[in-house]
Structure 1
Amino acid sequence: MSVFRSGWSLLAVLIISRILESSVLRAEVKDGEILPPTIQKLMKGYNKYLRPFFDNGPVTVGMSLDIASIDTISEINMDYTATIFLRQRWTDERLVFEGNKSLSLDGRLVELLWVPDTFIVDSKKSFLHDITVENRLIRIFPNGTVLYALRITTTVACNMDLTKYPMDKQTCTLQLESWGYNINDVMFYWTRGNDSVSGLDTLRLAQYTVEDHYTSVSEAIYETGHYPKLIFHFELKRSILYFILETYVPSSLLVVLSWVSFWISQSSVPARICIGVTTVLTMTTLMMGARTSLPNANCFIKAIDVYLGICFSFIFGALIEYAVAHFCTLHHPDCNNGLMYGHPVQDCEDEMNGIVTTITSNSIRAKRRKESPTLTPAPTADPDLGCAVTSSPPASEDKGPETPEDALERCLRTMSAIRRVLRALNCCHIENPHYIDQYSRMTFPLSFILVNLLYWTYYLYF
């Protein structure tokens, strides 16, 4: 009884498939259209809903690509748009015919044949060109091999690492998978290995150059099973010349322009402030313009952001330098007046030498008073030392007040220590505030050149 029911079920399936075939054939072959005898013979008994080798293992499908153009590469959306010619080859034993010539059919007859359910994995938007007709090609060879070609424009996602932008290299992929047939039904392979993809050698892009490309075969693992996958990798290197002319050179010139204030007199407050503020505002505008074509992602600290930050720091530092120099000038009236009227400024070290000379002369006078027994030494005070020298009992007494020689010697040691401290502090002290501009004329350019060497070495070679 079960065998009888299974037989009836199989018969019903065959009847339904024949009805569908005849309806599709009637839909494709309209009034006045007659298929050639060879095609009618091939289509007789052909079921497009069953893949080739349905009961004899998987069908192998060979792939090849021809890249017609890569229209746009967007860093904001992280994708690229390309027009490709996708060619697929497989063998269908049901389409074997006698002869030595292939049959080129109209693309609209593809509805009568089984074709692989290939799709582009990371595609965001794709369409098949249909001007003037659908750009599809069907060619059948005598041994049953079918060539199926399509012209597709697709927008594919490409994960980009922009940390070295604009000195970056991006590796994008084009992945082809089977939608419904797993590896037990369909197997994909590249027809000629890495040579299966052509057109990149003659491709010309606006900001990129194609450095390398290669193919690979993989499997996509999902919950529903393992599916065949072909991957095409291509490496893109960005052309930096545009960014050098558009961003790097203007920002560097702004830094150099900010150094002009070091050669302007500190008394010209409006001129120096105008240069500093103008360069800061211009650099801010340049930084904002450089980020308009990039994704506003906080995770990306790009190389161009680092360079613009360095330039902004130098420009802002030049403005702060004038503020410090002007502040020091206002708080050094002696030096300021001396410089304004052309008089030399008294050196602090000479002042200390004068104090030590006074102390030495007082010591000599004290010794002379001690050698005269008839004279009673009177208390003396040195206004420069801020300490008083008083008389003391004769040296024969064991215990008594401090002698004048000891007091003078103690004051000399104190002043010598103060002098050493002032000498040490003088290394970091700028006696003339106008020297700040002279130091800046050397330190700013040398520091900027050193930072540039480190920057370009790191981002170009590491």
Structure 2
Amino acid sequence: MTLSVSGGTLLFTLLLISRLLENALLNAEVKEGEILPPTIHKLMKGYNKYLRPFFDNGPVSVGMSLDIASIDTISEINMDYTATIFLRQRWTDERLVFQGNKSLSLDGRLVELLWVPDTFIVDSKKSFLHDITVENRLIRIFPNGTVLYALRITTTVACNMDLTKYPMDKQTCTLQLESWGYNINDLTFHWTRGNESVSGLDTLKLAQYTVEDHYTSVSEAIYETGHYPKLVFHFELKRSILYFILETYVPSSLLVVLSWVSFWISQSSVPARICIGVTTVLTMTTLMMGARTSLPNANCFIKAIDVYLGICFSFIFGALIEYAVAHFCTLTYTESMYGHHMHDAFDDEMNGIITTIASNSNRAKRRKEANAAANAAGANAAPVEIALTPSSPSGSEPRLEAPPEVPRHWCFTVLAVLRKVLRRAMNCCHVENPHYIDNYSRVTFPLSFVMVNLLYWTYYLYF
């Protein structure tokens, strides 16, 4: 019994001390601000910060405006941006109405004694309120009870980026503001001046981007717990391509041009041409790996810079393959006569095969017909008419009449077509002089590269 009484006394004492400390803090804050009239001091004494304004008379309307101080970093790897903003919120609290015609600027630490909206940034990854030299808060109360509450915040916000046209892409990022606990029946948001509620972007200078457009919108966030007010600020960023032209596009194009130097080197200079080809291939591979260091690791889409680097790598590799083909043709050029005889022998062999197959087929058919005729003559006991050949008028060399011509078998037709196709293929692949390969490459490679570049830049810049 004694323990319970002492415990209750201790609890009562703690409550009394906390109440006295709160009153002392309030009195100290009010005494420090000599501009506060006694009427405001009385209002704040009976003020309950846990109840929103117009608690039983409809929702509170909160107007917002933003001032973008800076956008520090825009990361494609993490798909986010870091910005420092000044967030200003205005609402009316009927409990703070006072007599006068001037607004009162209060110490930012008095915000702990007032009701403020529970606004938060939806896609924020991390944020902090600046507190040097004190917490960067502003409280201003107007005679009609309007409260201006301003904050200086640095936040890192997620931004979903489409990098299919990187580095010629445009990204649209958003800054979304919502109420955490008050739904639309308790709280409503609106922009104070529409699209002009956001300022600072016109004079903002970014390293790789330029701000092309920005606008605001009002919507609602729908969750399982209800509908909540939501404000969205949209801004469109266009990437500056000059850095990438100097860093990636020009070096890769020059490597392609460097690979064409081998076309003017003699085919007998094997080390020189192989050295140029292998060096350009390895350098291009290093350039491709370096261009991907600032991009997301997930290869969920092919980017424009990947397409261009792939084109350049294909041309460089093609120049190396061109020398391999030309060198092979040079080695076989001295044996061209032997190859010609082999080609004729191949044709003769194909003709002999077809002739042999045809004669064998005809001979077999003749034997079958002769056997059939002999069997028929033996069964009917009728004389067989023997035709005399023109070379034997005496009839000493009898022969059967020649059977009618039968259509050729389908395999003969296939073999004939195959022979024609092989002959045309050998004629197309035949190179009279291997040095002509380099002469053709000197023209076809540059023209093809120029045409591919025209198609590439037209597609990614205008479509």
User: Counterpart of 2:460 in 1: which secondary structure?
Assistant: helix
Alpha-carbon displacement from aligned partner over 1:38-74 (angstroms, at most 9, x marks no partner): 4312213211110000000000000000000000000
SS at 2:150 equivalent: strand
Residues 370-420 of structure 1: per-residue CA shift (max 9 Å, x gap): xxxxxxxxxxxxxxxxxxxxxxxx9988999xxxxxxxxxxxxxxxxx999
User: For the residues of structure 1 that align with 2:434 and 2:62, how far apart are their CA atoms?
Assistant: 81
Q: Deviations over 1:312-362 (max 9, x none)?
A: 010011001101111111122156xxxxxxxxx99979x99xxxxxxxxxx
Counterpart of 2:24 in structure 1 is 26
Partner Cα separation in structure 2 for residue 330 and residue 95 of structure 1: 99
Matched residue type, 2:22: V
Q: Is the 8 A contact 2:29 2:110 kept in 1?
A: no
Contact kept? 2:61, 2:189, Cα under 8 Å? yes
Opposite residue 67 of structure 1, the aligned amino acid is I
Moved more, 21-30 or 434-443: 21-30
Matched, 1:205 2:203: no
In the alignment, is the contact (CA less than 8 A) between 2:69 and 2:84 conserved in 1? yes
Name the residue aligned to 1:110.
111
Matches within 5 A, 1:404-423: none
Give, in whole Å, the separation in 2 of the partners of 1:32 and 1:95.
15
Classify 1:43/1:19 alpha carbon distance in 2 versus 1 (closer, same or farther; 3 Å). farther
* 1:160-204 deviation line (CA, Å, top 9, x unaligned): 111110000000000000011000000000000000000000000
Q: Does the 8 Å CA contact 2:30/2:41 hold for their aligned counterparts?
A: no
Q: Cα distance 1:82–1:284, how it changes in 2: closer, same or farther (>3 A)?
A: same
CA offset digits 1:69-106 (Å, max 9, x no partner): 00000001110000000000000011111111000001
Q: Which amino acid aligns with 1:123?
A: S
Distance 2:250 2:94 in 1: 66
- Which amino acid in structure 2 is aligned with residue 317 of structure 1? G
Where 2:447 maps in the other structure, the secondary structure is: helix
Distance in 2 between residues matched to 1:238 and 1:145, nearest whole Å: 42
2:85 maps to what in 1? 84
Residues 43 and 95 of structure 2 are in contact (CA less than 8 Å); yes or no, is this contact kept in structure 1? yes
1:301 positional shift: 1.0
Q: Distance between the aligned counterparts of 2:420 and 2:25, measured in 1?
A: 110
Letter in 2 for 1:87: R
Establish whether residue 255 from structure 1 lines up as the match of residue 256 from structure 2: yes
Which digits, 9 at most, give the CA deviation of each residue in 1:115-137, with x for residues without a partner?
A: 00000000011000011111100
1:258-308 deviation digits (Å, cap 9, x = unpaired): 000001110000000000000001001100110111111121211101100
SS of corresponding position for 2:87 = strand
Does structure 1 retain, via aligned residues, the 8 Å contact 2:60–2:188? Answer: yes
Instruction: Report if aligned partners of 2:105, 2:140 keep a CA contact under 8 Å in 1.
Output: yes
Partner of residue 283, structure 1: 284
Deviation at 1:430, TM superposition (A): 1.5
Deviates more, 1:56-65 or 1:300-309: 300-309
Distance in 2, matches of 1:176 and 1:193, equals 15
1:30 positional shift: 3.7
Q: Is the 8 A contact 1:160 1:170 kept in 2?
A: yes
Q: One-letter code of the match for 2:229?
A: P
Go from structure 1 to structure 2 and tell me whether the alpha carbon gap of 1:289 and 1:28 turns closer, same or farther (over 3 Å shift): farther
CA distance in 2, matches of 1:168, 1:397: 95
Q: Structure 2: which amino acid aligns with 1:112?
A: L
- The reply to whether residue 184 of structure 1 matches residue 182 of structure 2 is no
- 1:446 aligned onto 2:444: no
Contact map agreement 1:21 1:47 (CA 8 A) in 2: no
Alpha-carbon separation, structure 1, partners of 2:17 and 2:104:
27
Name stretches of at least 5 consecutive residues in structure 1 with no aligned partner: 1-16, 336-344, 353-393, 401-417
> In the alignment, what sits opposite 1:4?
none
| Alpha-carbon contact 1:123-1:154 (below 8 Å) kept | yes
Contact 1:24 1:112 in 2 (8 A): no
**Match status 1:75 vs 2:76:** yes
1:156 aligns with 2:157: yes
- SS for the counterpart of 1:111 is helix
Instruction: Find the counterpart in structure 2 of residue 330 from structure 1.
Output: 331
Distance in 2 between residues matched to 1:61 and 1:288, nearest whole Å = 50
Describe how 1:117-136 pairs up with structure 2 within 5 A.
117-136=118-137
> Alignment partner of 1:453: what SS?
helix
Aligned to 1:370: none
TM-aligned CA deviation for residue 29 of structure 1:
3.8
> In the TM superposition, what is the alpha-carbon distance from 1:20 to its structure 2 partner?
8.0
- SS of 1:160's equivalent? coil
Q: What TM-score does the superposition give when structure 2 sets the normalisation length?
A: 0.76
Equivalent runs, 1:283-362 vs 2, <5 Å: 283-334=284-335
CA RMSD of aligned residues (A): 2.8
3-state SS, counterpart of residue 149 of structure 1: strand
Q: Does the residue aligned with 1:331 lie in a helix, a strand or coil?
A: helix
Matching residue's letter, 2:138: L
Alpha carbons of 1:56 and 1:116: their partners in 2 closer, same or farther (altered >3 Å)? same
Matches of 1:121 and 1:218, distance apart in 2: 13
Match of 1:217 in 2: 218
Distance in 2 (CA, whole Å) between partners of 1:34 and 1:447 is: 80
> Which residue is 2:436 aligned to?
435
Is the CA contact (8 Å cut-off) linking 2:211 and 2:236 kept in structure 1?
yes
Distance 1:96 1:268, change over 3 A: same
- 2:163 & 2:322 partners in 1: Cα distance? 34
Task: State the distance in 1 between where 2:60 and 2:459 align.
Answer: 51
1:195 maps to 2:193: no
**Relative to structure 1, is the Cα distance of residues 142 and 21 closer, same or farther in structure 2, using a 3 angstrom cutoff?**
farther
For structure 2, list consecutive stretches of 5 or more residues without a partner in the other structure: 1-14, 345-388, 400-418
How many angstroms does 1:458 deviate by? 1.0
The CA distance in 2 between the partners of 1:20 and 1:93, in whole Å, is 28
Which one-letter code corresponds to 1:152 in the other structure?
Answer: I
Q: Give, in whole Å, the separation in 2 of the partners of 1:184 and 1:423.
A: 83
